[in-house]
Amino acid sequence: MGGKEKRRIKGTSQEINELQILEGHDNVDVYGNILPPNSADGYGKEIVGLVWRYENGVVSQAGSEFVWHRTEEGSPGGIFGPTGGYFDVNGTFQPVIRQMMEYQTCSVFNCWRFLPCRFTDVDVSTVDDPFWHNLEFHQDRPNTGITRIIVPGGSQRHVVGRNPSWIPHILPHIFTTPDPSAPQSTGLGGSFAIIIALLALTTRHKHMDDVFLHGQWNRHQWTGSRYPQADPDPTGSPRGVMVHVCYDSYNINTNSTLDAIGNFERQGCAVKDRR
């Protein structure tokens, strides 16, 4: 696989569901910050989004044959769709519907101004006592100006480049670099699932698919802006989404493998700076 191929994914499928916190299940830290529940029974019925396909930087609906399904609340879910098929005795192609292979699942929450991003690498509606992380970043060596989000966490708490065009839309000003000698920002990369979640959290409540329906993120360019009511109420529950990323086993000719997604996260750029 050449260097250019390592910097892009030709096909993934992903699901973004908005998580609903049940009344009385908020978790408050010693500083009074309202955090997500630490138990799966603190979450109610999720708001299920569409299944999306990402291919060569283009985001589109995967189609009605791809659906998100979990047998009951609190049980693991997955994306189901045609993953191959066969020709019957009449020569008609019969698709085989199976659960698609998972690459990563994460839950990402905006806990208001002082904790704008907390995440865990599981579906919190199915797991008790998940390990939570604050958003941290990693710098490429040599420094390319790309801010890279690493799971479980990077080496610094601010972005690596100056004047990123995606602040304050995707990330708030609190993550701006304090270093005046930092290189010019060139983009945002790293964990694909967390970046998808951050994009979804720029929209208003129950509209997490809007950013993709309206083409606000396309060919690695961000052309949207943060919705005024995207952030949670200062005294209310955090706002969170669960993102489930699968490799696209339906389009078998694409470069959608677990290794390809990992290479893109380590070397690619999901959101390029506009200049």
Q: What's residue 5's pLDDT?
A: 41
Pair 38, 27: CB distance under 8 Å = yes
pLDDT at position 43: 97
Please give the average pLDDT of every successive group of 10 residues along the chain, which has 275 residues: 46 92 92 94 97 90 93 95 88 91 96 92 97 92 91 86 96 95 96 97 96 94 94 93 87 66 92 91
Query: Model pTM greater than 0.75?
Result: yes
What local confidence, expressed as pLDDT, does residue 181 receive? 93
pLDDT recorded at residue 275: 74
| Ranges of each domain in the chain | 3-272
Give the strands of the sheet with 77-87, arranged side by side.
67-70, 77-87, 93-99
